Amino acid sequence: MNYPQTKLPNVGLTIFSKMSALAAQKGAINLSQGFPDYQGPQALLDSVAKQVGAGMNQYAPMSGMPTLRRLIADKVERLYGRSVNPETEICVTPGATEALFSAIASTVRAGDEVIIFDPAYDSYRPAVELNGGIPISLPLLPPSFAIDWDALRAVITPRTRMIIINTPHNPTGQAWSADDLDALEAAVRGTDILILSDEVYEHLVFDGIEHQSMSRRAALAERSFIVSSFGKTYHVTGWRVGYCVAPAALMSEFQKVHQYVTFNTHTPLQCAIADFMEQQPDYPLGLGDFFSTKRDRLAQGLSGSRFKLLSSSGTYFQLVDYTAINNLPDDEFVLWLLEEAGVAAIPLSPFYQNRLQTGCVRLCFAKQNDTIDRALERLSKI
């Protein structure tokens, strides 16, 4: 039998899966894949059992439980000053990645160009290619990973359908400023370009920085799919519950795809999250301090090492420059580090379309202090 030619010839097992599997195989400390090794809030966990026991086990509405959508709308207005309609402008999804895919699949057609800033989360480009779009990569370079706005304007063409942004940014840990919003607004003014804004780390910003959501600017919000993640916010990444906020006309198209990809999202988990949001609406406001303390613990522990830390303004990731240790390519360095120190990290090159070598790897500090300290003891000896 002749099987059909692959639609994603350049896609294999993700680097996250590879490194986590190797970490487990070697018994290493896993600072590679971005997930906590501690539990979420106990009240949230307890609420799941309550919701299951109360019979919340059948299909939820396709766009999400009404109470949860109302609470999302309340949060957006409270934090960003934008009023959104929970009936027509919000959809709860089984994970942010499904929301990203549905946004792309519902609007990108064959031949459309989609601008992606590299290094980029690895689901963007395959989703564009599966829908016939053409990814246009713009590299962000160390140490600042700042956007070159002149370069962005230079690659915008009449075929540009969408720009994908991510703030706070995985894997670099950089967060947008108000000036960045100004520049983006100017770049798309007078066009029909859509924005897909990946804001899953919206509450993980440090040092007094405010998250610059597309929701803050009417001119950007009116053309944006804005995606977030309860898994990141509440330390329950395995629950796979996210959501998308978009103007009604865009959300209508989004839901046409969503209903045939997954249709709806786990009912008891939605109810538990809504219950917790009503009990503790300000819980996300403490996450900046919570995670910056872990970032600083990692930085202090590496201060006397040969690793050089780059700035991290958000997410739960820290980039480190290893070039004072050796000159291996980063995908080889992480294997060397696994053997020499028993610590798993993520190379930066797979996040670039051209696999650019920067001499940097990514560490995740969303870990218990004991995990961080054990990793530091090993890394400091390298």
**Cβ distance 174 to 145 under 8 Å?**
yes
Q: How confident is the model at residue 102 (pLDDT cuts 50, 70, 90)?
A: very high
Residue 325 identity: I
Task: Quickly state the pLDDT bin for 381 (edges 50, 70, 90).
Answer: very high
Looking at the predicted structure, is the pLDDT value of residue 18 above 90? Answer: no
Mean of pLDDT values over 165-192: 98
pLDDT at 20 over 90: no
Phi and psi, residue 336, nearest 5°:
-60, -45
3-state secondary structure of 334: helix
Alpha carbons 375 and 298: distance in angstroms, whole number: 9
Q: What is the pLDDT of residues 283-293, one digit of tens each?
A: 999 999 999 99
pLDDT of residue 95: 96
User: Does pLDDT of 13 surpass 80?
Assistant: no
pLDDT of residue 14: 80
Q: What is the pLDDT of residue 217?
A: 98
Percent of the chain whose pLDDT exceeds 90 = 92
Domains 15-40+285-379 and 42-282 share a fold: no
Residues in CB range of 30: below 8 A, 6 or more apart: 19, 20, 23, 24, 37, 344
Question: Measured in Å, how far apart are the chain's first and last C-alpha atoms?
Answer: 52
Mean pLDDT of 49-57: 97
**314 and 174 Cβ atoms separated by less than 8 Å:** yes
- pLDDT of 223 reads 98
Give the residue, 14 or 36, on which the prediction is more confident.
36
Q: What is the DSSP letter of 311?
A: P
Mean pLDDT of the region 104-121: 98
Mean pLDDT over each residue of the chain, to the nearest integer? 96
- 224 has a pLDDT exceeding 90: yes
- Would you state the pLDDT for residue 23? 79
Angle between helices 287-302 and 369-379 (to 10 degrees): 20
Q: Provide the total of helices (H) and of strands (E) in the chain, helices listed first.
A: 14, 13
| Percentage above 70 pLDDT, the chain | 100
Using DSSP, state whether 303 is helix, strand or coil: coil
SS3 of residue 351 by DSSP: helix
Q: What is the pLDDT of residue 198?
A: 98
Return the exposure string of 282-306: e unless at least 16 CB atoms fall within 10 Å of the residue's CB, then b. ebbeebbeebbebbebbbebbeebe
Using alpha carbons only, give the angle 332, 337, 339 rounded to the nearest 5 degrees.
Answer: 100
Burial of 27 (0-12, 13-18, 19+ CB in 10 A): exposed
Domain assignments of the chain as residue spans, ordered by start: 15-40+285-379, 42-282
CATH superfamily name and code, 15-40+285-379: Aspartate Aminotransferase, domain 1 (3.90.1150.10)
User: Which strand ranges, in their side-by-side order, compose the sheet holding 346-347?
Assistant: 308-309, 317-321, 360-364, 346-347
* pLDDT for residue 16 is more than 90: no
Q: Where are the beta strands (DSSP E) in 174-287?
A: 194-198, 224-229, 242-245
Q: Please give the CATH topology (third level) of the domain spanning 42-282.
A: Aspartate Aminotransferase; domain 2 (3.40.640)
Question: What is the average per-residue pLDDT within 244-268?
Answer: 97
Phi and psi torsions of 247, nearest 5°: -55, 155
**Cα gap 74→69, rounded to integer Å:** 9
